[in-house]
Amino acid sequence: MKKTLVFLLIVLFFATTASASMKIKLAVVTKPGSAQNIVADKFKELIEARSQGEITVKVFHSASLGNETEILQQIQMGTVEMGIITAGPFDTFDPIVRVVNYPFLFKDNDQADLILDGPLGQEILKSLETSGFKGLHFSENGFRNLTNSKKAVKTPDDIKGLKIRVMASALHKTIWQTLGANPTPMPWPIYTELEQSVIDGQENPLWVMEVYKFYEIQKYMTMTRHVYSSHIDVAGLKWWNALSDDNRALIAGAIKDAAIFQRTDNRAKNAGRMALLGKKGMIIEQHPDVTAFRARVADLKNMDLYSDPRVNALLIKMIE
Ligand code: PAF
């Protein structure tokens, strides 16, 4: 009798411990060393330490669970719990992200932080709940710049006809159409397509040219800084709502700290990246005619993309 009781207590102990522990599947499309992976790896380190191993994270990287749209669908369905996803592809799920992806919206990092970490950023994260996402925080991709293999680009006229890969985002496609390019939506990664000249160019922040070695296949870079590109650190809303208050607080705290760590890290590395890309032989246009680029896309806010009154009202607030 005594032995049975001890046995039952042991079984109960292990059952309780097992149900208390939690495994999070977190997906990114990029490879180790990339901006998203730095957030993901830091989040894993922090949450595992702070929960004393009760919460563990498995990072699925390099698009092993599919492209960003597919990851977002899996998060909605609850088969993946979290992701660090570029704001661009959220466009298909909630047009509100077109507000933060608006061209030339932010002049610098400080302004981006002020807005994204403030009430307007919160409004965007909150809005994602309508499509089944819990937007937790913004981390950063950075200011996007144009690269191509064909010619030096200084003004929008130089872009005419260039085949530029864009993310799965109606806004990004329209920006490049408006600038006179031939935009081609394509999921990440795109090295082979650039190498085989299926596309002439692409646009992304500096870390991408370094980590993905685009200096090997893209001769020209133009510092257009046309969009400040953020990542949305996201969870499935249903999964999130089922967590205990303590776990929600732990996860929210760890993702916030990971995001802030990554933004600081990304910015600190940009000067070194620029020097490296120059050394590797890229021809870098540091001072394109930004006024002309801005003028070309100035009318975007009046297009159908922003006709949803909710999206339009928020954009106006941001622009002001
Ligand atoms: O161009 C993209 O798809 C994104 O900027 C990338 C490279 C996945 C990083 O967020």
Asked if residue 67 has pLDDT above 50, the reply is yes
Residue 320: pLDDT band (50, 70, 90) is confident
Is the alpha carbon torsion for 233, 234, 235, 241 positive or negative? positive
* Coil, helix or strand at residue 36: helix
The Å distance, Cα 100 to ligand 1 centre, comes to 15
Task: Choose among 218, 105, 73, 63: nearest CA to 151.
Answer: 218
- Identify whether the C-beta of residue 160 lies closer than 8 Å to the C-beta of residue 181: yes
The Å distance, Cα 35 to ligand 1 centre, comes to 9
Residue having the nearest C-alpha atom to atom 4 of ligand 1: 86
Q: Which residues line ligand 1 (CB under 6 A)?
A: 29-30, 36, 86, 141, 167, 188, 204, 208, 229
End-to-end CA distance of the chain: 76
Which pLDDT belongs to residue 131? 97
Pocket test for ligand 1, best of 70, 140, 188 (most atoms within 8 A of CB): 188
Whole-structure pTM value: 0.93
Q: What is the pLDDT of residues 253-306, one digit of tens each?
A: 999 999 999 999 999 999 999 999 999 999 999 999 999 999 999 999 999 999
- Identify whether the C-beta of residue 210 lies closer than 8 Å to the C-beta of residue 153: no
Which pLDDT belongs to residue 312? 94
Element housing 262 (H / E): helix 245-279
Q: What is the pLDDT of residues 193-235, one digit of tens each?
A: 999 999 999 999 999 999 999 999 999 999 999 999 999 999 9
The Å distance, Cα 18 to ligand 1 centre, comes to 37
The Å distance, Cα 203 to ligand 1 centre, comes to 9
Q: Where are the alpha helices (DSSP H) in 78-190?
A: 109-116, 119-127, 170-178
